[in-house]
Amino acid sequence: MERLCFVLPIVPGTEVEFDSRHAELWPDMASAMREAGYGNYTLFRREQTVIGYAECHPDVASAAGKMAGTEVAARWGESMAGIVEDSPGLTHYEEVWHLPE
């Protein structure tokens, strides 16, 4: 398992819509994420900055690759156009320490 932390900017004024879309996440999107290997996936938002955390099985590259090949990921991406800032990609952060349970 590899942990993932990233930052995602959203368009100013879309905060309520961003929150609403995630409060009512499509069931097929949630299923596809689990099947791709994402677990314990959490988003935090402060104004237009979203910080995400996920545990990826077996690793980030594998989970992301599986998810990228799904029809629901394409639909979700299209539905988030105008909400998520256009950027070259997510800003990933390197893990430097973890307190195990």
Domain locations in the chain as residue ranges: 2-92
pTM given for the model? 0.90
pLDDT at 90: 76
Per-residue pLDDT of the chain (101 residues; tens, 9 = 90+): 999 999 999 999 999 999 999 999 999 999 999 999 999 999 999 999 999 999 999 999 999 999 999 999 999 999 999 999 876 667 889 999 999 98
Please, which residues bridge with residue 85 across strands? none
Q: Tell me which residue of 95, 101, 99, 77 sits closest to 8, measured CA to CA.
A: 77
Give me the helices (H) in 1-101, please: 15-23, 27-36, 60-68, 71-79
pLDDT at 88: 62
- Taking domain 2-92, whether its CATH number is 3.30.70.100 is answered by yes
